[in-house]
């Protein structure tokens, strides 16, 4: 029996030109292919191709894929703070606190809001971006290979378990069929 589970996890790590790439992909049971992605800011362009890759490769399952990108020290661009927007948000948070008694806003909370921080792209050329995207997709392929292996491994374990249950059912069925108490004469004698 060749079974493939829908549950699995895999991680793949790669490096490209001073940039570390890490994919974590996990899957659970699902009637169709459903994909949830977590991509770093600036890598949203990869979402359609990642979704398409998963949908082509798997027929069923709910997938969660997370991409983590790390840049070597000195190659990261410094974030730019939209100070006017931050000032507006801080003022709004202060008014909400005074008006409704809500907890005060924190710096990390305000900085995490979309539009407050802008991290400029560090890739200078289209060729460099294309090469990085290719390395990211190659790392995804490695992670998906690992996920397939995990799903096949769990499927094999399930096959052994199911086979054992089927064997037990077969043994019990044969035993019940061979049971002398099922004979018509024995049943008549028992009823009489």
pLDDT computed for residue 144 by the predictor: 97
| pLDDT for the residue numbered 73 | 60
Domain boundaries, the chain: 8-155
Q: What is the pTM of this model?
A: 0.65
pLDDT tens over the chain, length 192 residues:
577 788 899 999 999 988 999 999 999 998 999 999 999 988 999 999 999 999 999 999 999 999 999 976 655 667 788 999 999 999 999 999 999 998 999 988 888 888 888 766 655 688 989 999 999 999 999 999 999 999 888 888 888 898 899 989 999 998 888 888 888 888 888 887
d(CA 119, CA 81): 9
| Cα within 13 Å of Cα(133), Cβ side | 16
List pLDDT tens digits, range 34-47.
999 999 988 999 99
């Amino acid at each position: 029996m060749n079974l493939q589970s829908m549950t699995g996890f895999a991680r793949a790590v790669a490096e490209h030109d001073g940039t570390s790439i890490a994919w974590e992909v996990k899957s659970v049971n699902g009637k169709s292919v459903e994909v949830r992605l977590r991509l770093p800011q600036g890598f949203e362009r990869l979402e359609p191709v990642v979704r398409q890759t998963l949908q082509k490769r798997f027929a069923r399952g709910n997938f969660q894929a997370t991409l983590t990108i790390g840049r070597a020290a000195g190659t990261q661009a410094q974030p730019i703070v939209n100070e006017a927007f931050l000032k507006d948000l801080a003022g709004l948070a202060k008014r909400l606190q005074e008006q409704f008694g809500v907890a005060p806003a924190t710096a990390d909370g305000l900085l995490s809001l979309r539009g407050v921080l802008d991290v400029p792209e560090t890739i200078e050329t289209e060729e460099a971006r294309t090469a990085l995207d290719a390395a990211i997709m190659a790392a995804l392929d490695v992670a998906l290979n690992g996920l397939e292996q995990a799903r096949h491994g769990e499927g094999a374990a399930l096959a052994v378990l199911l086979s054992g249950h089927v064997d037990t059912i077969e043994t019990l069925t044969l035993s019940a069929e061979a049971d002398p108490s099922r004979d018509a004469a024995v049943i008549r004698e028992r009823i009489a």
